[in-house]
Amino acid sequence: MDAAIVNLGLGNLGSVQAALWRHHAQSTITFDPKVIAQAPRLLLPGVGSFDAAMDRLRASGLDELLRQRALGDGVPLLGICLGMQLLLERSDEGHLPGLAWISGRLDRFQPQAGRPVPHMGWNTVTPSPSSRLFTGMRADARYYFVHSFRATGVPDGDVAGSTWYGDNFASAVEKGSVAGVQFHPEKSHQDGAQIFRNFLEWRR
């Protein structure tokens, strides 16, 4: 097994697994602590409610197991869409605290002319020069987004990429062995495939 995909019960995880398979990476979709404890890398995808996801993680004790694996053991972990949001401290969507592995919070996009909510469709990401996730990415790469909340207050050193949607927001984060992307790499064709390729090359 090359990776464990944490099953929050929120979203189509099969598309993430299929994207990994295209890189000849074997993965399992699981909520089993024993499997997660042995996985060489972890993916935390999801769509939907911030509070529902955090409640499921905390009720199962997986929040602490994931913390130990990613922060303690240095196992690479990639959060996707809601999974990236969970890495931050809190969200205006709900009341529960996030994992707080990366400083920052989520606030809702305010509708304005030319900026409907949710932010849905294709957009670009300006990568940080030091980002490992975006290594080798073509200059005009585009990614598929569907979200109503954006990351704010993320320290500059933890921002791996930013996106313009009425103003700039952190659309990708990296800190140590932990990374997150607000877009869906599994729906982003060759550019998303490069994100997975780069992540699969990470080592402890």
* Domain at 88, CATH number: 3.40.50.880
Spans of the chain, pLDDT less than 70:
204
pLDDT at 9: 84
Q: How far apart are CA 43 and CA 16, in angstroms?
A: 9
Among this protein's residues, is 89 annotated catalytic? Answer: no
Tell me how many domains the chain contains: 1
pLDDT confidence of residue 77: 98
What is the Cα–Cα distance from 66 to 111, expressed in whole angstroms? 35
Catalytic residue among 24, 95, 184, 201: 184
Say if residue 4 is exposed, middle or buried (CB neighbours under 10 Å; 0-12, 13-18, 19+): buried
pLDDT at 204: 61
- Tell me which residue range forms the domain holding 115: 3-200
Closest alpha carbon to 120 in 173, 54, 50, 47? 47
Identify which of 143, 129, 122 has the alpha carbon closest to the alpha carbon of residue 195. 143
Q: What is the pLDDT of residue 139?
A: 83
DSSP β-bridge partners for residue 46 = 81
Q: Is 186 a catalytic residue?
A: yes
Beta bridge partners of 44: 79
**Per-residue pLDDT reduced to its tens digit, 145-196:** 999 999 999 999 999 999 999 999 999 999 999 999 999 999 999 999 999 9
Q: What is the pLDDT of residue 171?
A: 98
- 201 among known catalytic residues: no
| Choice among 93, 147, 186, 201 that is catalytic | 186
d(CA 28, CA 14): 10
pLDDT at 117: 93
pTM of this structure: 0.96
d(CA 37, CA 115): 42
Which residue of the set 81, 119, 147, 174 is catalytic? 81
SS3 string, 139-192, reads CCCEEEEEECEEEECCCHHHEEEEEECCCEEEEEEEECCEEEECCEHHHCHHHH
